[in-house]
Structure 1
Amino acid sequence: MPNPFFDSLWPGMVAWSILYISDYSLTIICAHLRRVRANQIIVIEGSYELTPYYQRDIDSLKLFSPRFLVALVWSLFLLALAWALAISQPLPQLYDFVLGSMILLELAIHVRHFRNLFLYWSVNHTDEVRGRIEYSRPLAYRMSSYDLLAFAGLFFLLFAFTQNWFLLGGVATCLSTALKHRKLAKKRPASTVAVQPSEQT
């Protein structure tokens, strides 16, 4: 059965662009919500953003980020390259794998965004969250790592039943990002959590 996402390049590029822009936008929104009141109750050592490449832009709440634009253009180029290689070989599984590696990782990250949106909104607008909790930077990375490992396991289970390379791509990037965050967690030992100066009230 024809599938426009795999039979043509443009639907995948559009879907990826929307998700990537949404990811950055939701990160900015969550970072802002955290500064309203939530950072007094849920304290995370260091930047709200886990990816070092984007931390400076997210910390300054930049709505327009040249770094983001460069990354978006580069990712679209890689997607187009995968399409060209898949057509010329022919190896359609290559494009399916690359598209899945991009889309499914973003979907996993969006789950985290929506969870944070609900949590920070609840902290800022209700009294249902009380007390104070502090996360060290290594713990934040380890939590992210386990989150993504769970998604990698889910996508692999679905791949085992469907043999769909789109799902296998999601397994690969969720697993690699989980391992990357695990490595970042080991870079330095846990220390006393301190709120960033820009977030202090």
Structure 2
Amino acid sequence: MDLLDLLRLPPVACLLFCTLHSLDFLLTIAGERVRQRRAAQVIRISGSYELNPLFRKVVDERRWWSWRFLLTLGVGGAVFYVASWSMLSTGRPDDLAALDLVLGAFVFSRLHIIQRHLHNLWLFDRIARHPESAVGEVHYERRVGVAGAAFQSGGAALLLAAAYVAAPSAFVLGGALSCGLLTLLGVVLALRAKPATAAAASGAPTPS
């Protein structure tokens, strides 16, 4: 049994979803807490630190839990369990490929987002521990922050697309498609974001 065979198992697929979903949520809260406590005077962000409107309020309040998170955790875990069980039970190649596509889409997109969280945590902590490493103040207009995230997602999508061309795999293709979708979503959100106000551009605190 290889790693992909293991990931297809319903309990493992369910555990995988719960683990990565929880890490994404908790690292988002941790990132905003560290930024507010240690780096808010150096790095200012227009609007919310969280891009997902479903969790924006709880992230702004820097709470470690929410009913919405618990609901999405339970429902998502159940969906992954049932989907993997139903597709795996048929044994048909098309169903296995579809399952691999879904698993790849989730795993690669979440790992990409988690990597961004870890980078932010390192950056905020570095600024706090070594103030001389960041002199002055940077204000991120919301559309700039969202566009930057979209560029990062686009880079991940290109790397995964290249990996798929070199060694075709439904698992890798799912990752390329999901990161590509994140890129498209980021571009749309950046285009729809309102320009920064004059007060925000001058470095005045922006309400969340």
**4+ long deviations beyond 4 Å:** none
Structure 2 equivalent of residue 182 of structure 1: 187
- Closer, same or farther: CA 74–172 of 1 in aligned 2, 3 Å: farther
- Closer, same or farther: CA 136–165 of 1 in aligned 2, 3 Å: same
Structure 2 equivalent of residue 141 of structure 1: 146
Matching of residues 1-201 of structure 1 within 5 Å: 2-3=2-3, 4-83=5-84, 84-88=86-90, 90=92, 91-127=95-131, 128-192=133-197, 193=200, 195-197=205-207
Residue 196 (structure 1) shift: 4.0
| Separation in structure 1 between the aligned mates of residue 23 and residue 47 of structure 2, nearest angstrom | 23
What letter is aligned with 1:122? R
Q: Deviations over 1:82-135 (max 9, x none)?
A: 321353372201111111111111110111111111100011121211111111
- Does the 8 A contact of 1:145 with 1:179 survive in 2? yes
| Separation in structure 1 between the aligned mates of residue 8 and residue 83 of structure 2, nearest angstrom | 13
| Separation in structure 2 between the aligned mates of residue 93 and residue 86 of structure 1, nearest angstrom | 10
Q: Which runs of 5+ in 2 are unaligned?
A: none
- Closer, same or farther: CA 61–159 of 1 in aligned 2, 3 Å: same
Aligned length: 198
Normalising by structure 1, what TM-score?
Answer: 0.90
> Is the partner of 2:192 in helix, strand or coil?
coil
Q: Which runs of 5+ in 1 are unaligned?
A: none
What letter is aligned with 2:43? I
What letter is aligned with 2:105? S
- Does the 8 A contact of 1:82 with 1:98 survive in 2? no
> Is the partner of 1:37 in helix, strand or coil?
helix
Residue 177 (structure 1) shift: 1.6
- Does the 8 A contact of 1:79 with 1:98 survive in 2? no
Percent identical residues:
27
- Does the 8 A contact of 1:152 with 1:170 survive in 2? yes
What letter is aligned with 2:39? A
Normalising by structure 2, what TM-score?
Answer: 0.88
Q: Deviations over 1:150-193 (max 9, x none)?
A: 11111111111221111111111111121112111111342233
What letter is aligned with 2:162? L
| Separation in structure 1 between the aligned mates of residue 30 and residue 8 of structure 2, nearest angstrom | 35
Q: Deviations over 1:19-74 (max 9, x none)?
A: 11111111111100111131111111000111111100100111111111122223
CA RMSD of aligned residues (A): 1.8
- Does the 8 A contact of 2:8 with 2:100 survive in 1? no
What letter is aligned with 1:37? R
